[in-house]
Structure 1
Amino acid sequence: TGQIYMPFVNWGLFVMIVLAVVLFRSSSNLAAAYGIAVTLDMTITTVLTFFVIRYGWGYPLALCVAATGFFFAVDILFFSSNLLKLLQGGWFPLLIGGAIFTLMMTWKRGRELLGDKLREDSINLQDFLASVQANPPMRVDGTAVFLCAEAGVVPNALLHNLKHNKVLHRQNLFVTVQYHETPWIGLDQRLQVRSLGGDFWQVAVNYGFKNELDLPGALRLMHGRGCELDSMRTSYFLSRDVVVPTFGEGMAPWRQRLFAQMHHNASGVAAFLHLPSNAVVELGSKVEI
């Protein structure tokens, strides 16, 4: 309980372990790498324990320092002694940890820059709908579901759909998927629905981190709320942003290029949310960070 199985991560760890054993050839050659890995893990665990009991549980600072200070000193001594074998194989776990840390921080910072850029260029949804209703385009039968990273803004997919197809569906749902730090969220709390008028709806779909993601299944709960969805006449519009690195101040150029490649290789939203492949429309745009 309390664990999440991620097949890709587990198989990736398996491949890396096999490669490490093959490269080092014997357990004695792995001893230096193993020692640094274990002692560094012990040190990190002690530091995290301090932050949990201090900022998570709210215990007094003196008590937190007393509870973790002794273990931290012992861990640092063990780690320092193992650093003497840095050139004999101890560099290996530090290299792996540094590479993973770089990828994680690049992804985190890149997502922040991407989000800031999208918010900077975004249009307020209520103002946009008011202008659309004042000068309505042609409406076609069916339901369009637009996935939005943030509620209250116009998704790029809607703008591109209007620009190229010059039509709106009879019903339009602006859906934001929200993930919570609780394992399970029941069906009675799955949807938060708000009518925007004119057959436009703002929908928030809530998932716990152990809930199975199924967006079409969640939207079927709209039944009886004034918006009836027919799965055969529902289309899902996704914004596929292509990141273009620039010489800005957000990140170093090499990190921008790394994030652009990571963003390009990221798994698609359609498969992640179990959207029917024959009902998905992706509309792309370039975003400079």
Structure 2
Amino acid sequence: MSSMSSPKTVQLSKSALIALSIGAIGVVFGDIGTSPLYAFREALGQAASDGLVKDEVLGVLSLALWSLFLIVSVKYVTFLMRANNRGEGGVLALAALARKALGWRSRTAIVLGAAGAALFYGDAMITPALSVLSAVEGLRTLPGATNAVNETQIILITMGILIGLFLIQSRGTERVSKLFGPICILWFVVIGGLGLWHIADEPGILWAFNPLEAVYFLLSHGTLGLFVLGAVFLTVTGAEALTADMGHFGPAPIRLAWFALAGPALVLNYLGQGAYALNKMEALQAAGQPFVNADWFFLMAPEALRPWLIVLAMLATIIASQAVITGAYSLTQQAVQLGFLPRLRVRNTSADYAGQIYLPTVNWLLLIGILVLVIQFRTSSAMAAAYGIAVTGTMVVTTCLAYIVVRHRWRWSRPWALLLILPFLTLDLIFFGANILRVIEGGWVPLVIAAVIGFTIFTWVRGKSIVRTFEQRQSVPLADLAAALARRSPERVEGTAIFLTGTPTAAPGALLHNLKHNKVLHATNLIASVKTSDMPYVDADDRFDIKRLDDNFSVVVLRYGFMESPDVPHDLAVAAKAGLLALDPMKASYFIGRNTLKADADVGMPLWQDRIFMFLQRNASDPTDFLRIPPGKVLELGEQVTV
């Protein structure tokens, strides 16, 4: 067994570590940090369906605490942060790393990555809807507001906040994001302080740290225990963000933020909610009154301070939603670069930070989906049932990809790799199974969303494969064409022609059509190909791979990471300035192959699937936009392709 290889680390000064930790608190922990708004309430609600006793409160709380410890602290913070792709984490970054490790057997990694990405979009829709709705519902805990604030008003306020949040996305969040860290620090301090204050109500709640309380609860409650476990999982939703945002902050700041503030604050708050609920339950039983599950998080706060807690909760859920929205943008950009989705228009919203991007199509589709969820479910309790399946599914995928990395990238032996991964996978599958039981209650929603996204990915990948196969059949080796033209040159015209192609060893279709129909060859001809690497970023020194074939042709391959946006004219200009190419990219003409698709039931995919692929192709971002090529310098040539 080889030793566990750790990623390249950068030594941070104390001030830089603290600054990055503050930033991480605002971005990374927003989702998991707002889970106390609803997680304990929902788990206790499942357990209270047939009445409630003290041991059950302790059992539910013990399940929550040990879920935080095993899944977040051990699995994500301690282990998965080491399984990163040059500092980048997340399901697609891990899939790219696994694909590189498997080589020609990479289809497994591709399928797992696509499944994880599809499930993430279900999470990205439910998180803003659930978190903001649960914060707004806190208004009903204000004195006298139980009947004054009705369900319709709560829904309208929630929708207003969400619409406003999505409207500002196009302007970027660089300025307002500077407030995320301080607001979330205040949030964690407040919720931790509230919990610590109420632990004194029932000090016996500390028995929840005993894992036997969780084990006894599950063993003694049968199927009900699994339903409770599914609700308990809400305490760890957002754990994926710890690795997904690792590239922005690094593992050390995230670990420091978790163990120094976010983790302890969450533990204290859940303990406080449990102690408060247990104290109220015993008081009601002593008075001969029935116990009713309630919004324990807000009720813990004194009535005079509760309005301020509600405002702070709204701000925290907006920040959590922003983190998920930004994550959806980044994941989509990665999916496009890796070939899982058609090209989409990407706008940079910051001149200083390349990672701050805005995708209009994704933005509005997310907003529509979120608003539909709010209107359909109407309450956070109803929506909570739909939440866990998407997250647990993504976690199962992440663990499977981690096994591939450990086994084939780190080159551990199979027994040692299984010894490390199987406990995590078993835990994930238990939680996934517990959440599957809630499909009828609303868990079908993220599965439907994931199925639609997954089918879209499959259709796009399959369709592009058919087109690529057609182009390969029609292709001519570039070296053979260059030799033929050297022997018998057509009429020459002045200037530089840059032919863009996906296969630099074959003559681009646009070049062949130009020779066939225009019967001319430019004085300088450059065959340019854009390749996406399995790494998040490509070093400037590795950007170009230039080969001169003869006096007529040169080939340049531009390499980009899956987190980068291609800029062909800029990078060709860099190569020219460095003396690697003899051209002025801004004065050159760009030739791009653009084939016309034709549906055929007897060729390729079924007719209905052909039409879906053609729709995706028509609505994909123009390649000139995607590659940053000035539109006035582009000529498109192509032919009809049957799919």
Is 1:178 matched up with 2:423?
no
> What is the distance in 1 between the residues matched to 2:546 and 2:391?
49
Aligned to 1:254: 608
> What is the distance in 2 between the residues matched to 1:208 and 1:76?
32
Aligned to 1:141: 494
The one of 229, 239, 247 equivalent to 1:2 is 247
Q: Secondary structure at the match of 1:140?
A: strand
Q: Deviations over 1:234-267 (max 9, x none)?
A: 1001111222233356433332322222122211
Q: Secondary structure at the match of 1:206?
A: strand
The one of 83, 86, 103 equivalent to 2:439 is 86
Is 1:50 matched up with 2:403?
yes
Amino acid at match of 2:538: I
Q: Secondary structure at the match of 2:510?
A: helix
Displacement of 1:49: 2.8
Is 1:288 matched up with 2:288?
no
Is 1:227 matched up with 2:582?
yes
Displacement of 1:7: 2.2
Structural mapping, 1:1-289, within 5 Å:
2=247, 4=330, 5=355, 6-8=357-359, 9=362, 12-220=365-573, 221-223=575-577, 224-225=579-580, 227-229=582-584, 231-232=586-587, 234-248=588-602, 250-289=604-643
> What is the distance in 1 between the residues matched to 2:565 and 2:451?
32
Amino acid at match of 1:267: S
8 A contact 1:180–1:206 mirrored in 2: yes
Give the alignment's TM-score, normalised by structure 2. 0.42
Q: Pick closer, same or farther for the CA change 1:226–1:258 going to 2, 3 Å.
A: closer
Q: Pick closer, same or farther for the CA change 1:83–1:228 going to 2, 3 Å.
A: closer
Displacement of 1:11: 5.3
Q: Deviations over 1:104-154 (max 9, x none)?
A: 122122222221221111111122222223332211111110001101211
Q: Pick closer, same or farther for the CA change 1:79–1:147 going to 2, 3 Å.
A: same
Q: Pick closer, same or farther for the CA change 1:147–1:78 going to 2, 3 Å.
A: same
Displacement of 1:197: 1.8
Amino acid at match of 2:631: S
Which segment drifts farther, 145-154 or 104-113? 104-113
Relative CO higher for 1 or 2, CA cutoff 8 Å, sep ≥ 6?
A: 2
Amino acid at match of 1:208: G
Which segment drifts farther, 269-278 or 215-224? 215-224
Displacement of 1:212: 4.9
Q: Deviations over 1:33-71 (max 9, x none)?
A: 113233333333333332332233222222232333233
Displacement of 1:270: 0.8
8 A contact 1:176–1:203 mirrored in 2: yes
Q: Pick closer, same or farther for the CA change 1:141–1:16 going to 2, 3 Å.
A: same
Give the alignment's TM-score, normalised by structure 1. 0.88
Could you list the runs of 5+ residues in structure 2 that have no partner in the other structure? 1-245, 249-329, 331-354
Q: Secondary structure at the match of 2:400?
A: helix
> What is the distance in 2 between the residues matched to 1:51 and 1:251?
31
Q: Pick closer, same or farther for the CA change 1:87–1:245 going to 2, 3 Å.
A: same
Displacement of 1:269: 1.4
Displacement of 1:211: 4.5
8 A contact 2:508–2:593 mirrored in 1: yes
Point out the structure with the larger helix share.
Answer: 2
Q: Deviations over 1:68-119 (max 9, x none)?
A: 3233333333333333332221111110111111111221222222212211
Displacement of 1:208: 3.0
> What is the distance in 1 between the residues matched to 2:399 and 2:452?
22
Could you list the runs of 5+ residues in structure 1 that have no partner in the other structure? none
Amino acid at match of 1:52: V
Which segment drifts farther, 195-204 or 71-80? 71-80
Aligned residues: 288
Which segment drifts farther, 166-175 or 245-254? 245-254
Amino acid at match of 1:127: D
Point out the structure with the larger strand share.
Answer: 1
> What is the distance in 2 between the residues matched to 1:91 and 1:253?
28
> What is the distance in 1 between the residues matched to 2:441 and 2:620?
36
Q: Secondary structure at the match of 1:197?
A: coil
Q: Secondary structure at the match of 2:618?
A: helix
Which segment drifts farther, 149-158 or 61-70? 61-70
8 A contact 1:242–1:264 mirrored in 2: no
Q: Pick closer, same or farther for the CA change 1:212–1:107 going to 2, 3 Å.
A: closer
8 A contact 2:482–2:552 mirrored in 1: no
